[in-house]
Structure 1
Amino acid sequence: MPTEQQTPQVDDSLRVVALEVADDLAELARVRAWADRLLQDLPEEQRVEALLVVDELASNALRHGSPPRQVRLLRKRNWLSVEVDDTCVDPACPRPPSAEGGHGLKLVAGMSVSWGQWQRPTGKTVWAELDLTGVASG
């Protein structure tokens, strides 16, 4: 069963919340609802953009990655990082757009300040950072 983990705050400025994601595309609705609940304090436009980033990264991990998978939101004042782990060692890379997809990482790049990935011997973490300047931090 998928589980949610919340890391104790190391200091008052950083909050990390993690969600284990089962190997099922139906999990995307649960991931979106989880992130939406955690980002309720954001203005509508920023929340929608952040949720789209969460959805695209989680969707890519479910479609192209390997389990186990985890989604993390790292938040501090004026900044949000979305991180998604999977155990596929193949790098995430934009594909040419088609009717079947290929738009996700381009959307992520357009909505984030930066995005990238960390490769590990056992998989990868794909991440995106969003600027929340002018928004009260949660």
Structure 2
Amino acid sequence: MPLRADADLAEPARVRAWARAKLPDLAEEELADTILVLDELVSNALRHGKPPRRVRLVWLPGRLLVEVDDSAPTPAVPRPPTDDGGRGLALIDACASAWGQDLRDDGKTVWAELAKTQSVSERV
């Protein structure tokens, strides 16, 4: 079952802790990239999306898919960096092998795919 993320100021920390618990066998560098991508996707959903919000980690052969759902139909769009933000999708693009979004009538899923070189004994 995916972890449900709510618009709580402490929520990104809770999601990071959840992900670390689900990914105990990842090398520290891979875990750091995964947490960074997850944190950016969750922060964007909390800042720009609408409830309900959900996050999933999905294992595929040789890669991990990070998915964040929200009910805002507005697509995620990279924007120029400012003092108020605009760096999140650029960070995701730098860390992930691919990222994108699936738009629906009831919202969207923004996802990022990360290559994983290490096998993981516990699947999410």
TM-score class, shorter-chain normalisation, is: over 0.9
Structure 2 counterpart of 1:33:
17
Q: Secondary structure at the match of 1:102?
A: coil
TM-score by length of 2: 0.94
Matched, 1:61 2:42: no
Q: Secondary structure at the match of 1:47?
A: helix
Q: How many residues align?
A: 121
Structure 2 counterpart of 1:84:
68
Does the CA-based 8 Å contact 1:53-1:108 persist in structure 2? yes
1:107 deviates by 0.4
TM-score by length of 1: 0.84
Structure with greater contact order relative to length (CA < 8 Å, sep ≥ 6): 2
Structure 1 counterpart of 2:119:
136
Matched, 1:115 2:102: no
Structure 2 counterpart of 1:44:
28
Unaligned runs of 5+ in 1: 6-17
Deviates more, 1:25-34 or 1:62-71: 25-34
Q: In the alignment, residue 43 of structure 2 is paired with which amino acid?
A: S
Unaligned runs of 5+ in 2: none
